[in-house]
Amino acid sequence: MGSVRKKKEKQKDFQKAKLKVGKTKLKPTNHTDTSFVAKTISLPSQSIVNKTSTTSTAEFEADLIKRLSLTKHHANQTRKETLIYIEQHLPNEPTLYKQILTAVVPLIIDQSRSVREALISLLTAASEKQSNLMELHARSVILYIHSAMTHINSDIRNDSVKFLDILIKYGKDAVIRSAWVKTLKAYFSLLSWTLNDSKQSVSLAITTSSVTKTSSKSKGVILDSFVKFIKAGVQDEQLDPSEVNITIHHLTGKYLIPSTPQPFAQLKLFQRETLADDSTTKNKNTVDTTIDLNTVSCEDSQTRTKVLVEFFIPQIIKHSKEVVKEGGEQGKAARSLEKLCDAILVKVKEEEEAARD
Amino acid sequence: MVKRRTAAILPTNIILLQNLVRRDPESYREEFLQQYAHYESLRDLFMAQPGSQNGDEFEELIGFVSAVCSCYPKETANFPNELKSLIANNHRDLTPELREKIIQCLVMLRNRDIITAESLIQTIFPLLSAYSGAANVNAQHSKALRHQVYSTLISLLKNVNTGAKNQKLNRSTQALLFNLLEQKDAQGVWATKLTRELWRRGIWDDSRTVEIMTQATLHPDSKVVVSGVKFFLGADKEREENFEEESDEEGFDLNSMRHKMNINKKTGKRAKKLEAAVKTMKKKNSAKHSATYLNFSAIHLLRDPQGFAEQVFETHLQGKNSNKFDLEQKIALMNLLSRLIGTHKLTVLGIYSFFLKYLTPKQRDVTQVMAACAQASHDLVPPESINVMVRKIADEFVSDGVAPEVAAAGINTIREILSRAPLAIDQTLLHDLTEYKGSKSKPVNIAAKSLITLYREVAPEMLHRKDRGKVATMEISAGERNGLPQFGVESNTQGIPGIELLAKWREEQGLAANDGEDDEANWEVDDEEVDGEDIEGDWVTVESDKEYEISDDEDEDKKKEDAVPELTEGKEAEKMDEDSDLDLSDDEEEGAEKIEEDAPAAEAATAPLDAEAAFRELASTRILTPADFAKIEELRNQAGVEKILGTKTQRNEEQVDSGSLVGPVKYKQLREERIAHAREGRDERDKFGSHRGKRDAPHSTTNREKARKKNFVMMIHKRSVQGKVKRSLRDKQKVLQAHITKQKKKGH
C-alpha cells in the first residue's frame, strides 16, 4: 500500500498547477517576498523649514546661484524681484561677485524701467561693498553700456548714462583707459550730435529728438554725465606729491609692476576681435577721421587729452552752444560742459607753450 | 494722433527704421549711424562672450544693416567682411538661428552686388563640409544648415549662369570641388552632390565637370565612389527628364489668351496677365534656343576614357580592392566600366576574366552582371577573351538540367554579346546553342531563334545548312558573301547609307537631279512620322501635267512589290522602266535633257548597286532635303538593306536592359489581377449608346439652341427670314460660296 502513496507523492511533484480564471497565479516555490511596510516617508528636498534661516554659507551661496538664473525670467516683475533679493543678500566674500555680475549686467539693456532701476541700485550697492568690483569688470560692463547708449529704445538710452555714472564713480580708471574714444562717440550719438560737418548729415534727428518731452530733462542728465566723464579722462592720474614723501626718479614708475589691472590690454593679446581688411582701412580717412582712432590706445591722460582736443572738442563746443540757447536744466549742464572744454583748451595751450619754452 | 505722427518719423523699432531708411537714406543717416554703432557694440559683446543671450537683437540688427547697406556704402564698407569672418571663424559659437541669418544676409548682400559671388561661395562652401560627417554635434541644426548652404549654392550658380555662362565663377567653384575631392574622407560626397545637381539642371555640362566626377569615382572613399558611378550611369537620364518636364510646363495657349482678350471685357488686370504670359513665353523660347546648353552625355565628355576605365578597374574591382563594396555597388561599377568599354571601344582585357567569377545562375542579380558582360564586348576586343566568357555562360546557364528562364537568360546574353562581337564563338558551340530552337519552353525557343536570326545576317556560314534561311543560302550559292567576318577588319560605310536606292528611285520617277530642291515643303521636318502621302504629294505637283496613271495607294503597293525583286533581278527590268520614263518625259523642255544626261550614269549606278558612285553622282548635283532622307529611310526599310549592311555594329552605345535578358516569362495571373485587367478597359468608357442630346459640359441652353426650337410661324415674318428671299442673286451666291468654304474648312 505504501508503494501507492509513494507513487502519488512522486507524481505530485510533476503535476502542473492549473491556472484558474480570476485567481492570481501561484507563486513558484523558490519565491522570496521582498515587500516591506514603512511608517514615515522623509522628503528632505521638500522640507518646509527655511534654508536661509539655517545659513551655512555654502547653502546660501548655492541658493543665490540658483536665483541668478531668474535674471533671465520672462516676467519683468520676477527679474526685478530677483535683483532686489540679490541686493539684499549681497555676499561678503568677493568670490561670488563675478558670477553675479555676469548674470546681472545684461539687464542694462532690459526693456523694463523698473528692472533697470533695480539694477542701478544693485550695482551701486555692490560696488559700495566691493570697491574693486567695477574696476575689475569694467571691460564687460562698458560693452553693455555702449550697447545701451546706442539702443533704439530711447528710455534705455537715457538710462544708460546712469550706469556709466556708476562706472565712472567706482572704476573710472579702467573705463577711461579701455574705452575712451568709443564712449566719447557713444555720447555723441546719444546726444544726436554729429562728429563731422559734412553736408549729408544735416540730420533730422536733431529736430526729432526735441519732439519727445522727456528729452530736455534727460539731456541735462546726459550732459552732466558727459562732463564727469571728460573730467575723469583728462585728469592726471599721478599720485599726489603730498602723499609721497620720498623723492623718486620720475621714470621709476615705468619699471615697477603696474598698479592697474590688465595693463597691457591694449595690445589685445588675449582678445578676439574682427579684423579689418587692409583694403577697407585705406579709404577710411575719406569717410570719418575718427574711425582710425579705434586703433589708438588711450592709456595715459596726455593721449586722451590730445584725442579729445583734436577730434571732439570743436564739435562739443559748437553743439553745446546750441544747447545753451535752449536754456533750462540742459542749458545749465551745457554751460558747464562748455566751461570745462575751454579750461581744457587753455590748459593744453599752456602746456604747449611750456613745452616750446 | 500725436502718437501716430511721432511714430511716423521717430522709429521705435528696427523694421520701421529700415523702411524709413530705405525711403530716404539722407535724412535718416544719424539714426542709421546710431544703429550701426549699436550693431558694433553688440558685435564686440559677442566677440567678448560668444553665446550670450541677446542673439535675437543681434540677428535683427544684422538683418537691418545688410538691408540698408547699399544706402551707406562708405560707412558700412567693413560690414560684409565682418559678417564673413564671423561666419567663417565663429560659426561653432553662433546659435543656429544667427548662423542662418548671417548666411541669408550674405546672400542678400551678394544679390545687391555688394560682395562678389566668388567670395560668397568661398565663405559658405567650407561650412558644407564642416557640418557634415561625424564631426558635428547637434544633428538637426546642422542638417538645416547644410540644406541652406547647399540650396544657396545651387541657386547662386543657377542665377549666375542664366543667359551667358559665367566661366570664371564656374572654374573657381570647380576648383573648390577638386580640392574637396583631394582629401581622403567622405566629405567629397558634397562635391558629387553639387555637381550632379548642376548637371541635372544643365548648368554645368562641360568636360571639366565630368573630370570632377572621374576624380570622385577614383576616390578612396566608397561613398564618394558610388555617387560618382551613379552620376555616370544615371545623370544624363535625369537631365533629360528634367528638361522634358520643363517643356511640358509651358502648357498655356497664347493664341486662345489673345482671343479671349479680344472678346472679354478689357481690364488692366487681364492685359497684365497677357503681357506676363507673353513675357514668360518669350523667355522660355529664348532660353531654350540661346543657352549654350550641350547635351553630350557624361561618358562622351571624358577626357581619357581608356585611362579612366583602367584605373577604375584596377583601383576598385581588381584583387582585394573590391572588398570595400557590396554587391550592388560592385554591379554598378561593372555597369559603368562596361559602358565605358562599349561606348569608346576600349581595351580592358582583365574585365572579361573578372566577370567569370560572377557568372553562375545562383549569383544574386546575375542578369545585371550578364548585361554588363554584353555591354563590355565589342568588335575590337580579341575574340579569345570574349570567347571564355561565352563558353562559361554556355556551360553554366544553358543545359538541359536548368530552369527554362535560366537557359533563356544564358542564350539571350550570348546573343547580345555576339551581336557586338560575332567572332567570339566557335561553330560547334553555336550549333549546340541553336539546337535549342526546338525547345518546348517558349523563352528558350525564342532566344535560340533570335540567335539564329542574328547569325543569318552576320555569318550564315557558321550555321547549319538548314538554319541559314533562303536569302543567305542564295547569297552563298551566288558567291556574294565574302566569307566569315574577320577580326580587326572594319566595314566602314562611306557617304550616306542607302543613297543609291534614292538615286534609283528618282530615276524611276523621272525626276531631274535638282527637282524638288527648292520646294519649301521638302524642307519641312515633321515631328510625326513623315508619311508617304506628303512626299508623294510633291512629286505629283512637280510633274502634274504628265499622264501618270498611278494613284497614290497603288504606288505604295507597287513599290513594296518592286523593291525587293529589283535588287536581285538585275538591271533588265529597270532599264525598261527608265526607257519608258524617258519616253514619257520627252516632251518636257528642260527636265528631259537633264535626265538624258543622267541616264547613262544612272544605268551604271543601278547595275552593281554601287553606293559610292551613286553618292558621288547625287551629292554633287543636288542638296538632299529632309524629305529625301525620309524617302531613303523608307526605301531602305523596303529593301531590307538594314540586314545586309549589318548596322548592328552601331549598337555599342546602347545599354543592355538586364530585365529583357530573361525573356518573356509569363506567370499565371492571380484572380485579382485578372479582374483588375478586365476592369481597366471598362473604367473610362461611357455606356454604349447615342450621344444625341447630351452635353459634354453642363451649361444652360444657348441662344442658338433656343432659336432653333422657336416656332416657325413666329419666325417667318421676321426681317431676317423674309430678307433672305428678297436678296439679289449676287448676294445669295456670295452667301452660298461663303457657306461652302466654311464647310470645307470645318472638314479639316
Place of cell 538594314: B642
Number of structural domains in chain B: 4
Inform me whether the C-beta atom of residue A144 falls under 8 Å from chain B C-beta atoms.
Answer: yes
CATH number at residue A157: 1.25.10.10
- Does A132 lie in the same domain as A192? no
Read off the pLDDT of each residue in B620-631 and give the average, rounded to a whole number: 77
Give the closest-approach CA distance of B677 to chain A in angstroms. Answer: 53
- Interface probe for B, chosen from A79, A108, A147, A273 (most Cβ of B below 10 Å), is A147
Instruction: Give tens-digit pLDDT for B16-48.
Output: 888 888 888 888 888 888 888 888 888 888 877
Task: Say if A247 falls within a structural domain.
Answer: no
Question: Domain tally for chain A?
Answer: 2
SS3 (DSSP) at B39: helix
A186 and A142 assigned to the same domain: no
Residue B681 lies in a domain: no
B366 part of a folded domain:
yes
Q: Which residue from B13, B54, B78 is facing A280, i.e. has the nearest CB? A: B78
| Low-confidence residues of chain A: pLDDT under 50 | 199-214, 239-241, 274-291
Would residue A159 count as lying in a domain?
Answer: yes
Tell if the CB–CB gap between A274 and B86 is shorter than 8 Å. yes
DSSP string, B51-91: T-STHHHHHHHHHHHHHHGGG-TTTTTTHHHHHHHHHHHST
Is A154 in the same domain as A227? no
- Asked if the structure places residue A165 within a domain, the reply is yes
Cell numbers linked to B530: 513623315
The alpha-carbon gap from B216 to the nearest alpha carbon of chain A, in Å, equals 36
Give B137-190 pLDDT, tens digit per residue. 555 678 888 889 999 999 999 888 887 888 889 999 999 999 999 988 888 888
Cβ atoms of residues B371 and B326 within 8 Å: no
Looking at the partner chain, which of A146, A153, A280 has a beta carbon nearest the beta carbon of B81? A280
Residue A148: domain span: 56-173
Is B278 contained in some domain? no
More confident residue, A174 or B377: B377
Best-predicted range by mean pLDDT among B424-428, B581-585, B592-596?
B424-428
Could you tell me if A230 and A153 lie in one domain?
A: no
Q: Report the CATH number at residue B120.
A: 1.25.10
The reply to whether A156 and A221 lie within a common domain is no
Same structural domain, B136 and B105:
yes
Asked if B77 and A287 come within 8 Å (Cβ–Cβ), the reply is: yes
Residue B288 lies in a domain: no
Residue type, B416: E
Q: Please name the residues between 215 and 254 in chain A that touch chain B, using a CB distance below 8 Å.
A: none
B518 and B470 both lie in a single domain: no
pLDDT for position A175? 81
Q: Does A283 touch chain B (CB under 8 A)?
A: yes
Residue B489 covered by a domain: no
Has residue B725 been placed in a domain?
yes
For chain B, say whether A194 makes contact (Cβ under 8 Å): yes
Specify whether B543 is located in the same domain as B472. Answer: no
- Cβ contacts below 8 Å, chain A against chain B, sum to 98
Q: Over chain B, what is the mean pLDDT?
A: 78
B78 touches chain A (CB under 8 A): yes
Least confident range of A14-23, A204-213, B220-229, B370-379: A204-213
* pLDDT, average across residues B1-11: 50
Res. B3: pLDDT tops 80: no
Residue A277, chain B, CB below 8 Å: the answer is yes
Write out pLDDT tens, residues B472-528. Answer: 888 888 877 767 778 877 655 556 667 777 777 777 777 655 555 566 666 665 444
**B13, B33, B75 member nearest A189 (Cβ):** B33
A83 within a domain of the structure (yes/no) = yes
A195 contacts: CB under 8 Å, gap ≥ 6: A185, A188, A288, A290, A311, A312, A315
Q: What is the mean pLDDT of residues B598-607?
A: 44
Q: Is residue A278 part of a domain?
A: no
Residues 320-339, chain B: which have Cβ within 8 Å of A? none
Shared-domain flag, residues A163 and A300: no
- Domain stop point among B218, B249, B280: B249
Do B465 and B608 lie in one domain? The reply is: no
Among B353, B618, B653, B651, CA closest to B496 = B618
Subunit contact A151:B38, Cβ cutoff 8 A? yes
- Among A122-136, B418-432, B633-647, the least confident range: B633-647
pLDDT band with cut points at 50, 70 and 90 for residue B585: very low
User: Is pLDDT of B312 > 90?
Assistant: yes
Q: Do B41 and A286 touch (CB under 8 A)?
A: no
- B432's enclosing H/E stretch is helix B427-434
Q: What is the pLDDT of residues A55-100, one digit of tens each?
A: 567 777 788 888 888 888 889 899 999 999 998 888 887 888 888 8
Beta carbons of A298 and A237 less than 8 angstroms apart: no
Co-location of A130 and A183 in the same domain:
no
Are B477 and B625 part of one and the same domain? no
Residue A311 DSSP symbol: I
Element (H, E) at A229: helix A215-234
Residues B428 and B506 in one domain: no
Please write down the long-range contacts of B35-40, taking CB distance under 8 Å and 24 or more positions apart: B35/A150, B35/A152, B35/B61, B35/B64, B35/B65, B36/B65, B36/B72, B36/B75, B36/B76, B37/A146, B37/A150, B37/A185, B37/A186, B37/A189, B38/A147, B38/A150, B38/A151, B38/A152, B39/B64, B39/B65
Q: In sequence order, which residues have a C-beta less than 8 Å from that of residue B498 and are 6 or more positions away?
A: B632, B633, B635, B636, B639, B641
| Residues A294 and A190 grouped into a single domain | yes
Q: What is the mean pLDDT of residues B226-233?
A: 92
Q: Which of B128-137, B138-147, B212-221, B530-539 comes out lowest in average pLDDT? A: B530-539
Closest residue of chain A to B38, computed from CA coordinates: A150
pLDDT computed for residue B107 by the predictor: 92
Pair (A326, A195) in one structural domain: yes
- The set of cell numbers assigned to B337 is 566600366
Same domain, B513 and B460: no
**A215 compared with B574, residue with greater pLDDT:** A215
Percent share of chain B, pLDDT over 70: 76
Q: Are residues A93 and A158 in the same domain?
A: yes
Domain finish residue from B621, B645, B669:
B645
Chain B residue with the nearest C-alpha to that of A202: B27
Domain enclosing residue B728, as ranges: 707-748
The answer to whether position A272 is within a domain reads: no
- Does residue B656 sit within a domain? no
* pLDDT category of residue B218 using cuts at 50, 70 and 90: very high
Last residue of a domain, one of B249, B276, B292: B249
A184 vs B614 pLDDT, higher one: A184
Looking at beta carbons, which pairs linking B74-80 to residues 24 or more positions away fall under 8 Å?
B74/A283, B74/A286, B74/A287, B75/A287, B75/A288, B75/B32, B75/B33, B75/B36, B76/B36, B77/A280, B77/A283, B77/A287, B78/A276, B78/A277, B78/A280, B80/B106, B80/B109, B80/B114, B80/B115
Residues B329 and B374 in one domain: yes
B329 and B361 belong to one structural domain: yes
Query: Is residue A107 domain-resident?
Result: yes
In the stretch 20-59 of chain B, residues with CB closer than 8 A to chain A read: 26-31, 33-35, 37-38, 41-45, 47-49, 52-54, 57
Q: Are A191 and A337 part of one and the same domain?
A: yes
pLDDT band at B371 (very low <50, low <70, confident <90, very high): very high
Verify that B399 and B517 share a domain, yes or no. Answer: no
B522 and B469 share a domain?
no
Integer Cα distance of A233 and A254 in angstroms: 20
Q: Residue B535 above 50 pLDDT? A: no
Report yes or no for ipTM above 0.90: no
Residue B233: pLDDT over 80: yes
Q: Tell me what pLDDT residue B597 has.
A: 46
Highest mean pLDDT among A58-72, B411-425, B586-600: B411-425
**Residue A192 shares a structural domain with residue A293:** yes
Residue at A79 is within a domain = yes
Q: A interface mutation test: which of B44, B60, B115 has the most A CBs within 10 A?
A: B44
| CA distances (Å), origin B334, targets B218, B318, B745 | 14, 11, 60
